[in-house]
Structures are given as structure tokens and as C-alpha cells.
Amino acid sequence: MHSISYRRKLAFGKAMAALIIISGCFLLVYALTGDNLGIAEAFYYATGMLIGFWFVGPQLILMLRFSFSKKPLFSYDHNNIVLKDGTLIPWSSIQKIELHESSMNKWVQSVPPFYRLKLKNREHVDINTYHVLSTDELNRTLKQLRRVHNGASTK
């Protein structure tokens, strides 16, 4: 059984970068308590604070969670893909494996890259990578998954 896991050091580094940005947002909150701010400055600081919390806050929580956990994203062998929740997906039921790059959702928040397994029954299963794999790791894993899907050995 091969596990696709991430480097905790990478998740911790991204968590620290997000923490620095969130700290800047808290500085903007502190600046809003000042007495000599005009309406334009108060609006500017409040907007900057809200934007920072909106974009970076969810990533901070996610990266902190991954920094202290070592659970693999998913596993596979020559018979199945095993998702993080324990779901088994047999290779024989998979029609196609795709990699979807990072994008934005309707709330203008980051959607991490993910693998989409298109099944033969016209459904699909998404395997999220949560921004903890580098681009090289994403592409290497995609190639390995496609090779195993096409009948190659898992070694």
C-alpha cells in the first residue's frame, strides 16, 4: 500500500506565513481603536483587516491542523484507492484521473488543487490536496496514479 502524504515542514511554513499575515490584520484592528482616525482611514483599515481574515484565516486553521497531523491524504495499491475517510474505490470502476489546478470559489476563496476520479457510472470522486503538495509532487502523483490505473505495478 502506497500512501500519498505531505511534508509537515511545508504545512508548518505555510502556517507561519499565514500567521504573519493574520498578525498584520490584528495590528489593523488595534489601529482602528485610535482616536485620531478619519472615516477614510477607518474604512481602509477595516477593509484590509476583513480581506486578510477572509483570505488567510481559513488557510491558517487548515495549515495548523496539517502541521500537527501526519495522516496521509490517501493511499492506493494495485486493487483500490483508499480515501482518508476509509472509502475504497476499485481501479476497475475508474474511467479517468484528472488533476484540477487551484482556483477560486464563488465566495472568492482559494480552492486547492484536487484529483478528480471520473467513475464509469458517470459519477466522480474528488481527492482534495489542501495546498500541502507542491506542483512537482502533484504531477508526479498524477503520473503514478495513471500508470497504476493503466495496469503498471505499484512499485
- Look up residue 139 and give its three cell numbers: 504531477
Q: What is the pLDDT of residues 81-130, one digit of tens each?
A: 999 999 999 999 999 999 999 999 999 888 999 999 999 999 999 999 99
What distances in angstroms separate CA 64 from CA 4, 42, 53, one per listed residue?
19, 31, 15
| Residues with Cβ within 8 Å of residue 88, at least 6 apart in sequence | 80, 81, 82
> pLDDT (tens digit, 9 = 90+) per residue, 44-91?
999 999 999 999 999 999 999 999 998 899 999 999 999 999 999 999
pTM score, two decimals?
0.85
Residue 155: per-residue pLDDT: 58
Phi and psi for 35 in degrees, rounded to 5? Answer: -80, -30
Q: Which helix (H) or strand (E) holds 39?
A: helix 39-67
